[in-house]
Structure 1
């Protein structure tokens, strides 16, 4: 192996591994280059063949053909299923929030932003990843774009979860003081700022990513120290710091929410309803945060081990096991993008009601054409429409934040 090849394999163990590590489609012989999950296939030809000119990726070097075939079929299928369900679920969440005015409150605007990050992650990152794992090569534009958007979307997710937790903290711990500061306009401003900040913070990904010999990696110096430093900073900003802030918020929230407080000017019954509703919403936000932490912990642990372990040879069986664990962690991180709609549907009464409404509307639309539209049925439908409309006009009011 030439010096240039050794250099490429060394720097491949950088921040790129967090979201788009080198394709597992080949077991790298060098001890400095563990088997990765995603990115352009690494070719064992010893040539400078351009990725764009390669159509048939070779089999994994050193891995049994049956193992390669299984991975190329099973993993893309799992990611595709995750992407389809996640896109439908998060798309429905966005439809509900922007369709029904009573759903347009501060918390739900943050939920909408989470749905946008999940849609972006699944549509822009997960689907091309599945295609790449199945054997489709990518060019330098996709190398930069996919990795950039993965960093941006995960950063935006972390910041949105942090903003939601701080919002719950202000609402519950500083309920009176935050009445004038907690507004839907400010929630929208925070969401926009989250995206702008995420794009700016991770701009080095779009600038310094390279595609060489099928390897998509972050190049920030010959020794790889710059890339490792950037990876550590990203790990802190996208996982550790947000979770610390969130835990601090919830520690204070638990003290306030779960203790008995005086009813004040409210009646005891109304006060109890208010506290109960706040608990439900706070519990929902906490579950969303908890699932994010659980789904992303395995891939972070594996990749931290990757970066700082000492170089040593792994047996074929061990390396296959590491590859399977890495793939599982990788799929689990994508699966986080489909869990949120189910959390909303099962833990929040308002979302549950509107999910049922959306499903019933689609079912009604499918069966309408098969029903008779005689005069009596028409009168019944008109009367029902008037009653429902009157009820809607009475109840459809600006959303209340809880």
Structure 2
């Protein structure tokens, strides 16, 4: 399949031409001049998504949702360039000043956000700082591009830098609008703001206190992105919307034993790589796991006992009912261990997905970044009606994510279907701050 052949490389970037040329053998190689080869090699770093790459500080909200902007402060040389740039330095100070001066709710929200002019001005300033081989370029080539988080953009160098900055900035604005100004999110029944924004409590207590906390946090390091990023963190926190980092870092918490086992697995001993269980949250507030969650988990346990796959991936976050304290994946893991005696080393939790589309996307991310053979099929299990829905879900994925994170295989029976994870799953969704 063509899809699997391109699963590690973004074929629309220039260096994929290099890869394709090399795969065609010596005949084609002879047609390329030395100068062309040198140019193509110099662009190679702008194409390669590295499977083994893991996000830095995945336990930070900003690193999950706005990876490029979050990393600007992680590396001293880059941070120094930002802090000494006169345009960006002035912008940071002005944003903090404007935040201090805001008096009404509308002024406070607008002060927390980037204006359209600020986004454009920052993009130009960042582009002017970029030079091949300098610290910003190294940030792109060693982290941003290998991560695959922004692989949908086809530009290189300064133009690529502009695109990913604009995505981050607009994503921060979106989160602020939803959780400070009650903008309607994609799924308002489960993801909307937790306050009535016209209430006295919100106007006189919640929003002013957020404003003060943000200003206090930012004053020691007022770079151009500090106010909006601090605002997102404060607003998600006060709205109990920090679910994107539940159980992180998974590699050293709930998935530590299973991830260790992955490298020791003899994949040829199993027909499938994993059994993905789609979550089904209860509707009752005091119920930790739904009957559907038990039935789906039990079916996966029986498949595991029949050696269909070495791992069970249970997927689902804190979704139903609204503001539930229970995490679907964590509760299914407990059920599998307590009732079916499935070893912890065989269970991987994906505790962040809030929709069926992201059940697949997040599971695919786990498989890509933790050494699963993605050319080999996995299986997904759920109810008959749910899998019927999955069979026609491509259009919803394109509408909500901008891509399809999987390729479906055969429908094996009413409750089981093959699928293959795709590299596109690594792309960040900036308008889903609870699960980007």
TM-score (norm 1): 0.29
| Higher relative contact order (Cα pairs below 8 Å, separated by 6+ residues) | 1
TM-score (norm 2): 0.28
Q: Which has the larger radius of gyration?
A: 1
